Amino acid sequence: MTTEYYMTPDELQRLQRQQQELIAEVDRICKKHHIRYNMVGGTMLGAIRHKGYIPWDDDADIGFLREEYEKFRAACKTELDPEKYYMQDLRDVPGYRWGYGKLRRKGTAFVRLHQEQMPYGMGVSIDLMPFDSVPDGALARRWHHFKCYAYRKFFWSHIGKDTANHVWERIIYTLMDLVPMATLVRHFSAFIESGRGKKTQLVRILTFPTPKGIDGYERRWYEDLALYPFESMTLPGAADYDGYLTVKYGDYMTLPPENKRKVHPISRLQLFDEPISSDERSVQDGKEI
């Protein structure tokens, strides 16, 4: 049985520094190719509340409206140094099951607990979040919201069939996991295309849950941008950061209690300035990490 690995404070700081290298690479590519992006989620919150990382945060979130994300995805095919970086998107990487992308650092490992069997590289990463159009009509929004929920559960089923809390959930996920991944990707790709080019009021990440009662976020939060300090960098984020962060987090300037300051559970961590042992390499079974 795989056990959880707990990072030390020093390891967390080193992880954040290495993620900053990935953020800088995103910024470089976007400036070169005139691609618009912005900080979202906890990264935007960290920029406003801490001028950098939330002290206990172990990831970073970069957002793009869909057209900009596709430009970035295309640019990565020629811009990334293959000795250092790789990007993952479910349309490009077999077995990758998430509706958003990741930029990862080679020679590292950040393996999520209970995902050790997944057949793709799990290096230190940042999340690349594409925001898609949400229909303007109330009924259309509800149907769109349901489809987002269904795709999220189908993608999760390969993990949920072994990790869900209840037997009946594991049975349902086992049945859902029978749907071939290629079929899911084909239908999800069509779902993406159905919303492209539509200038709707709201946008969202298709396979990420939204706050309760919220079908999406104001498009203007991804179009009207300002620059903010984030650690040693200056990065774009919503000009109306207060509106965005209030919808997403509520009273965002108040620190949560310590028992709510969560990190992602992992089973293995390898930072790029540490040698990877031969035993650890053998565990990868030839996978790129």
70-97 pLDDT, tens digit each: 999 999 999 999 999 999 999 999 999 9
Beta bridge partners of 87: 103
Place of tokens 């958003």: 100
pLDDT at 9 > cutoff 70:
yes
Q: Can you tell me whether residue 266 is helix, strand or coil? A: strand
Residue 79 DSSP code: H
Residue 216 CA to its chain's centroid (Å): 17
Contact yes or no for 69/128 (Cβ under 8 A): yes
What is the per-residue pLDDT across 103-121, written as a single tens digit (0 to 9) for each?
Answer: 999 999 999 999 999 999 9
Greatest extent of the chain over all pairs of C-alpha atoms, in Å? 56
Determine what percent of the chain is predicted with pLDDT higher than 70: 94
User: pLDDT at position 273, please?
Assistant: 72
Distance CA 108, CA 275 (A): 9
Contact yes or no for 22/126 (Cβ under 8 A): yes
pTM more than 0.85: yes
What is the per-residue pLDDT across 214-273, written as a single tens digit (0 to 9) for each?
Answer: 999 999 999 999 999 999 999 999 999 999 999 999 999 999 998 888 889 999 999 987
Distance CA 8, CA 31 (A): 35
Q: Which residues contact 56 (CB under 8 A, 6 or more apart)?
A: 12, 261, 262, 263
Distance CA 138, CA 125 (A): 36
The backbone torsions φ and ψ at residue 43, rounded to the nearest 5 degrees and listed phi first, read -70, -40
